Amino acid sequence: MLLKRLGLATLLSFAVVGCTTVPNTLAVNTTQKIIQYERSKSDLAVKALILNSGDKMVYAENGNVAGEPLLLIHGFGGNKDNFTRIARQLENYNLIIPDLLGFGDSSKPITADYRSEAQATRLHELLQAKGLASDIHVSGNSMGGAISVAYAAKYPKEVKSLWLIDSAGFWSVGVPKSLEGATLENNPLLINKTEDFYNMYDFVMSKPPYIPKSVKAVFAQERIANKALESEILAQILGDNVEERAKVIAEYNIPTLVVWGEKDKVIKPETVTLIKEIIPQSEVITMPEIGHVPMIEAVKQTANDYKAFREALKK
């Protein structure tokens, strides 16, 4: 009963929440059981690939290998489990959900290139190894959206559609007021102490789901341990504009769905206007009362909007 009661809430985490105490062994073990329970409900198995660089890329995949492949790319500070709950709403597709290099259970080399094109190249290597690179649907949230754009621009003939969820990388729009004074030393997206996690959780989501403190503490320690690398990655992200590359998506007329939470405090909702200008064929959906991570805050609506988009492609 504990897993059923807590499981649905736990995996909603953007991997950005914390507790005021260091988690004990019981909390860690319980959290791991909840994670496994949630993955099992979504028919997800965790696998790994050793890249040509020698780095390990961990990913989750569902059992629907007959479905059309859909690559789901998490955002900054996140991991593959950001999509675990929505995965069960997308069961008709063959889901590939990686931990990007630098996050989750994948390798975390401090000197690697973490910009969008480098990450896209690694993801292409993963899909090639699985024999899924030739006809792939690509989606990403936040940083994962910028990587999705880079992927489609680099392999436009292989991408069948694009799903951008509060995408990063369109930096000419500017930053929201909530981040105007942010620096790499003082940034709500980077965590220096456990109390920062509570603020982060409310900052990135307008409708944050409940997560027990004992579970928050486990995720908090992971983010704190990765803070130095995340600072480096964030610096690379902020200097990585994908607007020119997005023009390739328009050139190849790749079907694109753009989804944005109207209460996003991380990336300006006005970004959708710029994306529509660069990618005229894109369909735009804005979600009232939703923040930066719609696939966590509004699981069913986000999934249903995407499935409707995919159905329309068949007509």
**Torsional class of 46: left (φ above 0), alpha (ψ -120 to 50), beta (otherwise):** beta
With cut-offs at 50, 70 and 90, classify the pLDDT of residue 8: very low
Task: Give strand ranges (E) for 4-78.
Answer: 44-50, 56-62, 69-73
- At a CB cut-off of 8 Å and minimum separation 6, what does 123 contact? 71, 73, 98, 147, 151
> What type of residue sits at position 27?
A
For this structure, is 148 an active site residue? Answer: no
pLDDT of residue 12: 38
Spot the catalytic one: 13, 42, 74, 282: 74
- The per-residue pLDDT for range 265-299, each reduced to its tens digit, is 999 999 999 999 999 999 999 999 999 999 999 99
Q: 39 or 10, which is more confident?
A: 39
For this structure, is 40 an active site residue? Answer: no
pLDDT of residue 219: 85
Spot the catalytic one: 142, 148, 161, 167: 142
With cut-offs at 50, 70 and 90, classify the pLDDT of residue 210: confident
Going by DSSP bridges, is the β-strand pair 283-287/256-261 parallel, antiparallel, or unpaired? parallel
Structure-token pair, residue 185: 């030393």
> In angstroms, what CA-CA distances link 276 with 10, 45, 63, 250, 287?
35, 36, 35, 10, 16
CB atoms within 10 A of CB 135: 11
Angle at alpha carbon of residue 59, lines to 230 and 255, rounded to 5°? 90
